[in-house]
Structure 1
Amino acid sequence: MHELGVVHRTIERADRTAVEALSQFGVATVHEAMGRLGLMRPYLRPVYEGAKLCGTAVTVLLQPGDNWMLHVAAEQVQEGDVVIAGCTTESEDGFFGELLAASLRARGAKGLVIDGGCRDVDELRRMDFPVFSRAINAKGTVKATLGSVNVPVVVANALVNPGDVIVADTDGIVVVPAAKAATVAEAAAKREAGEESKRERFKAGELGLDMYGMRGHLAELGLTYVD
């Protein structure tokens, strides 16, 4: 059951040092470093090219076609937060646009991830306010029905708790539980260092077949080369 009509003012955000460390890595690296967990469904896309963000989650549960709770959530935003909005049922209405972006930015928000629609895309691009949404839709919304703020929400099949770390870029969106942020950041750094070594070997012409020792297993499975 969804918890409706509640705003939790006190949440435990991930450690800021860990968030800053995670911001140095792309979504794919963070996802792999966390054991291939935490990805949102890929239908959520940046509304303009080059959008990316990393911050702690202020969560919002919306009602379809109603953006009232985004205004309620703005009051709870602190510097470095990302607003993460799910909906009680599928809706692609334009919940969010330029004016709400101005409000969230004034509170220190790093951006928005919303399992719904967004509009005013040209203005958001000019503001460089990152938004990831399921649709771009000019259709407006009303302010009539209660949802909640800072409750656990499911956004694009991923569970987000208030204070979790959200990393988003062109490749997708990943949720890092607050308690695991420092550990995942450390694992991501190790993975990145390993990839740099492999990158140089690939550039020098070495094949993945040899680097990863694939030839023997392929032969065992019966791969045959024919000249």
Structure 2
Amino acid sequence: MYELGVVHRTVDRPARPDVEALAPFGVSTIHEALGRTGLMRPYIRPVYPGARFCGTAVTVLLQPGDNWMLHVAAEQLRPGDVLVAACTTECEDGFFGDLLATSIRAQGAVGLVIDGGCRDADALREMDFPVFSRAVNSKGTVKATLGSVNIPVVCANAVVRPGDVVAGDADGVVVVPAERLAAVTEAAERREANEADKRRRFAAGELGLDMYGMREPLEAAGLRYLD
């Protein structure tokens, strides 16, 4: 059960340089470095091509068709934060648009993830304010029902706690638990170095069959070549 009607003002954020060290890596690389965990559902998509972010989570729990708590959450943002909005039940209404983007950017936010709808997509693109949402929907919302700010939430099937690191790009959104940030960054660096070598070998014409030692297992599995 969610805790409703509360705003937790204290968020234990990782050090900014540690978050920035993760930022150059893509979501797929981070997901692999995290042990193939942490992804939000693939229906969470960037509102415009090229949108990406990496920052610390401030979480907000919304009620369906009600964006009141987004305004409450804006006050809790700090530079480098990503606002992560979950909803108590499925809803694709347009909770967020260019006015709220202007507001939360002024507080230092570097992006928004919302398991719901947003609108003003063209304006968000022109602002280059990264939004990843469940839907783009013009339908408006009200301000009538309390949710909460800075509680653990489940957003698109991913658990997000205040202060966790959230990254988004064209491949989706991934959540890195704050306590695993350093280890995941190191694993991502190793993976990138390894992939650079493989990319060079592929470009030179080497086959994955040989690079990954697949021939014998394929033969043992019964693969036959017929001329």
- TM-score w.r.t. the length of structure 1 is 0.99
Task: Report the Cα distance in structure 2 between the residues aligned to 1:49 and 1:131, rounded to whole angstroms.
Answer: 11
Structure 1, residues 72-102: CA drift from partner, whole Å, max 9, x if none? 0000000000000000000000000000000
Task: Report the Cα distance in structure 2 between the residues aligned to 1:41 and 1:13, rounded to whole angstroms.
Answer: 24
The aligned residue for residue 91 of structure 1 is 91
Task: Report the Cα distance in structure 1 between the residues aligned to 2:174 and 2:21, rounded to whole angstroms.
Answer: 15
The aligned residue for residue 184 of structure 1 is 184
The aligned residue for residue 150 of structure 2 is 150
Runs of 4+ in 1 over 2 A off after TM superposition: none
Structure 2 counterpart of 1:15, one-letter code? A
Structure 1, residues 162-219: CA drift from partner, whole Å, max 9, x if none? 0000010000110000011111001100100000000000001100000000000000
Task: Report the Cα distance in structure 1 between the residues aligned to 2:76 and 2:210, rounded to whole angstroms.
Answer: 53
Q: Percent identity?
A: 73
The aligned residue for residue 65 of structure 1 is 65
2:31 alignment partner, SS class:
helix
**Structure 2 gaps, min length 5:** none
Task: Report the Cα distance in structure 2 between the residues aligned to 1:208 and 1:225, rounded to whole angstroms.
Answer: 17
Task: Report the Cα distance in structure 2 between the residues aligned to 1:100 and 1:144, rounded to whole angstroms.
Answer: 17
Structure 1, residues 82-135: CA drift from partner, whole Å, max 9, x if none? 000000000000000000000011011001000000000000000000000000
- TM-score w.r.t. the length of structure 2 is 0.99
**Structure 1 gaps, min length 5:** none
The aligned residue for residue 107 of structure 2 is 107
Q: Calculate the aligned-residue CA RMSD, in Å.
A: 0.5
The aligned residue for residue 48 of structure 2 is 48
Deviation of residue 18 (structure 1)?
Answer: 1.9
Structure 1, residues 23-54: CA drift from partner, whole Å, max 9, x if none? 01000000000100100000000000110010
Task: Report the Cα distance in structure 2 between the residues aligned to 1:167 and 1:206, rounded to whole angstroms.
Answer: 33
* Equivalences for residues 8-27 of structure 1 within 5 A: 8-27=8-27
Number of residue pairs matched by the alignment: 227
Structure 2 counterpart of 1:79, one-letter code? P
The aligned residue for residue 216 of structure 1 is 216
